[in-house]
Structure 1
Amino acid sequence: MLERFHLTLIREVDRQGSLTAAAGALHLTQSALSHTVKKLEQQLGTPVWERDGRHLRLTQAGRYLLSLADRLLPQFEHAEARMKQYANGERGTLRIGMECHPCYQWLLKVVSPYLARWPDVDVDVKQRFQFGGIGALFGYDIDVLVTPDPLKRPGLRFEPVFDYEQVLVVAEGHRLANARYVEPGQLVDETLITYPVETDRLDIYNLFLRPADVAPRRHKTIETTDIMLQMVASNRGVAALPRWLAEEYADRMPVVSVKLGKTGIAKQIFLGTREADASLDYLHSFVEFARASSWQDAKPRR
């Protein structure tokens, strides 16, 4: 019978790269771990690993079990931590997943008063997810997902937090700086600077360039907003950002915002949570703090 420990073992061997290292991490002898592995493979009727020199390589069956371990073990660990919190009268940690790179400044504005209101709750922020943001919610890797692109799924709920406009950011001396709006064809000779996100998740591509069958001359990725806008201010490229963020930086950098298309690109930020967690007071409170936050161009949802 497949047990939780078997999944823990498979995950640990994959992490450590060898039975010896995994045995040490699991506080077992190598012989005990080897015996457990052999017994598991006999029960399953198929090998889980095959030797590749001094290393172990997962078979197809082993890769399936590792995938299962990556999905199920975080849920067990989350449940145990939650039960411990209940037993100790604590509330624990609120884990926030980010699918919105420019939202970190906004999140800081929410987290500061939230932590003051909930001194027994810690906050952790994650950006990279093995199975994507939705998978991280289902897998209990995170408790809240900040995203501009919600996907409706049974068991999840998405609350709109605020509306914003996606704009093109250019240097003050750029040829498009005084335009009322920009058309897709005007970017064919530009270097477009974005966060390191797949282009099929970027609004500038999905809602502006691709419908017009247009691509920029060059696409460059930069992780931090400060460096991105330093590059834009130096006329090394253009960027697409929320208006509220662009105008905040325009107060201290020579950059301006230009509307994308005649009607602009309207977007929303959502918070995704699990329906099963609806009764958690500190989670509900975070959503309320998020709704109450605002920027110059962000319109809180009531």
Structure 2
Amino acid sequence: MEIRHLKLIKAIVEEGSITKAIDKLHLTQSALSHQLKEAEYQLGTQIFLRQNKKLVLTKAGEKLYETANEVLEKLSSTEQEIKRMIFGEFGTIRISTECYSSYHWLPPVLKQFHLLYPNVDLQIIMEATHYPLQKLKENVIDIAITSDPINDNNIKYMELFQDEMLMVVSAHHPWANKKYVVAEDFIHEHLLIHSLPLETVTIHQFLLAPAKVTPKKITPLPLTEASIEMVKADMGIMAMAKWAVQPYLKDNTLKTIKIGKNGLKRKHLIAIMNNITHPNYFNHFIDFLRTEINQQWNI
């Protein structure tokens, strides 16, 4: 039994006559009769009986018509799902960043996109954090968010947003009244960082390493809230993005200081593979991400 046989039986029943079924299926009368005889031969029984010039389903025909409805409906929905996959309504996007602080703003944005595209599975790949470009090239993720691009013709970059890094200290720290700090100011300080390796830490990358300065002590502390409490107690200093530190400045127990005379600004980029044709939903997500970050989050 083939799909064309099921469509034939369904058309004859629902159109109510051979003539109308012929028109719907775009078959000749001889072709329709041949297909019907073929189906009955395969089943070993009649599908229709002729009563008062009408075709009436036999018991076997009723069962077959029921099955035809189920199979054809399932086939139609499957075809629609596949088309939606091709044209961008179903799929998966794997994303990661090189900085844990990005996970403060990323999940809410993903949630908003999910409301628009509920059938697109957005996955944050935490294990790719710190090495997103490497994982992008290894096809572990589809989108990398980075502020440290590499020269590679296989990678395409698009600007996401720009932010400024600030040093955060207690209100009683010697730096509290400084307008800005330079690398040499860190020599006797206890620097709190989110995680290792040190090469991925912005303050080390762009300020300390170029000046060949190493703080007196460096402690990785993954929890931002724990680091903030350490800083409040004057037990260390930390670097944070200006937008990220704002909620912690309300009680005046912390101070922020510019890094370098001109400030330390980072440009965050979206990185994707250049040699891959992405579905529409993927491009829509990138547009949505850029718009949401720049307009609504204002970071």
Give me the TM-score of the superposition, normalised by structure 1.
0.65
C-alpha separation between the residues in 2 aligned to 1:166 and 1:172? 18
Q: How far 1:213 sits from its partner (Å)? A: 2.7
Q: How far 1:136 sits from its partner (Å)? A: 1.6
Return closer, same or farther for 1:257/1:263 CA change in 2, 3 Å cut-off: same
Letter in 2 for 1:290: L
Q: How far 1:135 sits from its partner (Å)? A: 2.8
**Structure whose alpha-carbon radius of gyration is higher:** 2
Q: Is the 8 A contact 2:88 2:279 kept in 1?
A: no
Question: Any residues of structure 2 matched to 1:47-66 within 5 Å, and which?
Answer: none
Alignment correspondent of 1:212: 211
Q: Is the 8 A contact 2:98 2:200 kept in 1?
A: no
Q: How far 1:219 sits from its partner (Å)? A: 0.2
Q: Is the 8 A contact 2:162 2:265 kept in 1?
A: yes
Return closer, same or farther for 1:288/1:86 CA change in 2, 3 Å cut-off: closer
Greater than 6 Å deviation, 4+ residue runs: 295-298
**SS of corresponding position for 2:105:** helix
Return closer, same or farther for 1:89/1:104 CA change in 2, 3 Å cut-off: closer
Alignment correspondent of 1:121: 120
**SS of corresponding position for 1:128:** helix
1:269 aligns with 2:276: no
Consecutive unaligned residues of structure 1, counting only runs of 5 or more, are: 1-82
Return closer, same or farther for 1:291/1:297 CA change in 2, 3 Å cut-off: closer
C-alpha separation between the residues in 2 aligned to 1:175 and 1:297? 36
Q: How far 1:199 sits from its partner (Å)? A: 1.5
* Bigger Cα displacement from structure 2, 209-218 vs 160-169: 209-218
Question: Any residues of structure 2 matched to 1:217-228 within 5 Å, and which?
Answer: 217-228=216-227
Alignment correspondent of 1:254: 253
Q: Is the 8 A contact 1:148 1:267 kept in 2?
A: yes
Give me the TM-score of the superposition, normalised by structure 2.
0.65
Alignment correspondent of 1:242: 241
Question: Any residues of structure 2 matched to 1:155-194 within 5 Å, and which?
Answer: 155-194=154-193
C-alpha separation between the residues in 1 aligned to 2:187 and 2:296? 28
**SS of corresponding position for 1:167:** strand
C-alpha separation between the residues in 2 aligned to 1:227 and 1:251? 17
Q: How far 1:164 sits from its partner (Å)? A: 0.7
* Bigger Cα displacement from structure 2, 102-111 vs 208-217: 208-217
Q: How far 1:88 sits from its partner (Å)? A: 12
C-alpha separation between the residues in 2 aligned to 1:132 and 1:264? 26
1:280 aligns with 2:279: yes
Q: How far 1:299 sits from its partner (Å)? A: 5.8
**SS of corresponding position for 1:95:** strand
Q: How far 1:183 sits from its partner (Å)? A: 2.1
Consecutive unaligned residues of structure 2, counting only runs of 5 or more, are: 1-81
Question: Any residues of structure 2 matched to 1:41-190 within 5 Å, and which?
Answer: 86=85, 91-129=90-128, 132-190=131-189
Identity of aligned residues (%): 25
**SS of corresponding position for 1:166:** strand
